[in-house]
Amino acid sequence: MSFVEYGDTIKDGDTAIVFLGHESMFPVKVQHGTVTQTKYGVIRHSADLIGKKYGSKVTCSKGGWVFILHPTPELWTMNLPHRTQILYSTDISIITMMLELKPGSIVCESGTGSGSLSHALIRTVAPTGHLYTVEFHQQRAEKAREEFREHGVEHLVTVTNQDVCKNGFGVSNIADAVFLDIPSPWEAIGHAKAALKAEGGRICSFSPCIEQVQRTCLAMEEYGFTEINTLEILLRVYNVRTISLQIPDLGKAAEDNSSTGFDSSNPSNQGSLCTNLQQGTVQFKSGVPLREMVGHTGYLTFATKS
């Protein structure tokens, strides 16, 4: 099993996603002789998982059923164990695009954290690229190495436990892109510039506070970066529902059926047409934003090494 290469069959030692619904799923490590409890009953790994195809519908002991999915970076982001605050797919997608990443790219990242962005970066640069990720916290760095090994991507990533603000990324003049998610990114801009290739490399800094953004932009300008710009990605969801509005009086006869949007020749529509005309309203489908939406997560500041 690998997060960058799809496999058809569930094997012993794989990490799989147990899917109960869009709002209910969790990861499980498949092992011989192990069982997993769900609200629909027990899943027996040896009998119910190993040897089955990913995407299979598995019946639990109480008669309910779940789907077993192959892990992807997006599914892992939704289900990973949180060691730190993480980046979600909304921000990850724009980071991948704005850093112009592709298979074969060399990327430097700090800090590793829970590995949400790391898995997405690895999948993007595979099979010939590489991720150099730096984590200040020793236990988090060791846990990240363990996860990358279990997920079959250890050959695409190098995890270093050190302070990037003091010691840098451990590489020079090879990176196509650098990503910073640390409390004081302005202290690492010089090391980021040293890690980037001679010309045209891209950098991104994620910061939750605008004061951090201001100091980072000043540091980028000081070190000669160009095309400095800051984005904030907000997700706004719309519901599609039926809306009733009054028909405006434009001086037309009530018999004019064209303004109603109904086919009056269809007998099934004639009753509702008469009702709408009598009430002076017309119904149509409309997209309406939710009353509440996901708020601020952080600012993304991008720049180019000139």
Instruction: Tell me the binding residues.
Output: 114-117, 135, 163, 181
DSSP string covering 191-235, please? HHHHHB-SSS-EEEEEESSHHHHHHHHHHHHHTTEEEEEEE----
Closest residue by Cα to residue 146 from 165, 120, 118, 188: 118
- What is the C-alpha to C-alpha distance for residues 113 and 85, in angstroms, rounded to an integer? 8
Q: For residue 240, what are the β-bridge partners?
A: 287
Closest residue by Cα to residue 136 from 169, 106, 105: 169
**CB-CB contact of 264 with 270 (8 Å):** yes
* The Cα angle at residue 180 between residues 178 and 182, in degrees rounded to 5: 160
- What is the C-alpha to C-alpha distance for residues 131 and 32, in angstroms, rounded to an integer? 33
Q: Which residues are annotated as a binding site for S-adenosyl-L-methionine?
A: 114-117, 135, 163, 181
Name the 3-class secondary structure at 58. strand
Residue with token string 């590995």: 115
**CB-CB contact of 258 with 212 (8 Å):** no
**CB-CB contact of 77 with 88 (8 Å):** yes
**CB-CB contact of 98 with 123 (8 Å):** no
* The Cα angle at residue 40 between residues 37 and 41, in degrees rounded to 5: 45
